[in-house]
Amino acid sequence: MATSGSVTFRPNVEEVISEAFERCGIDPQTRTGHHAKSARRSLNLLFSEFANRGINYWTITQNTLTLANGTSNYTLPAGTIDILDAVIREDDTDQIVNRITVQEYNQIPNKTSTGKPSQYFLDRQYTPVIYFWNVPDKAYTLNYWVMNQIEDISASNEDTDVPYRWTDTICAGLASKLAVKYQPEKFQLLNEMYERSFSFAASSDNDGVSLRVQPTALNLM
């Protein structure tokens, strides 16, 4: 039997929405523009939930930040969910910069002390701000790895910012959220299907090592 030879299956937002409504048992002929708008909003809420349930490995990027002499805090790009690791690279050698809590940062008696930064506190506001101690005594290059926000859904003809192995999970998760609104009697079943799909996807979404670091292990605020 011949196979397709294709590995391009990637449903767009409209197809994800259609699949979710079908799982709810809602006839496509009865769907309105309001249903589509509601589903896109629920899909964005689902992505927000993903960010709270662990590391979304496909959103991790390595960034650099130039630290200036005498400047202790820096605004990070919008969409930065969390910092997973950070090092200062100097003379081809990496020095780990340790993360501390806001309480630990507040207890530092001399926050203006200068030197090579060895600790940082991440203030996770809408636009995150990172604070360093020591205050840099010269220019340094910080290399850091971040988990970024999954890109928003704004139109039904867009693709989702989610990899292939999570396709069933976003369909199942959206079906669960739509059931709350339109088919509450099916919510329990659909939510169980979502949780099972999420568990399968999350168990394979790692970097291949035996120890999996979760954001909660990083003294998050």
Q: Where are the domains of the chain?
A: 13-55+150-218, 57-148
Which residue's structure tokens are 């704004």?
154
- pLDDT digits (tens), the chain, 221 positions: 789 999 989 999 999 999 999 999 998 889 999 999 999 999 999 999 999 998 899 999 999 999 999 999 999 999 999 999 999 999 889 999 999 999 999 999 999 999 999 999 999 988 999 999 999 999 999 999 999 999 999 999 999 999 999 999 999 999 999 999 999 999 999 999 999 999 999 998 876 654 444 433 333 33
Residue 138: count other Cβ atoms within 10 Å of its Cβ: 12
Query: Which CA distances in Å does 169 have to 103, 117, 192?
Result: 37, 41, 11
Helix or strand (DSSP H, E) at 132: strand 129-133
Amino acid identity at 115: G
Contact 173, 198 (CB under 8 A): yes
**Residue 58 exposed, middle or buried by CB count within 10 Å (0-12, 13-18, 19+):** middle
Distance in Å from the first CA to the final CA of the chain: 55
91: left (phi over 0), alpha (psi -120 to 50) or beta: left
What is the DSSP-derived secondary structure letter of residue 9?
A: -
- DSSP per position, 26-87: --GGG--HHHHHHHHHHHHHHHHHHHHSS--GGGEEEEEEEEPTT--EEEPPTTEEEEEEEE
Whole-model pTM? 0.85
Q: Name which of 6, 22, 53, 13 is nearest 162 in CA terms.
A: 13
Contact 25, 186 (CB under 8 A): yes
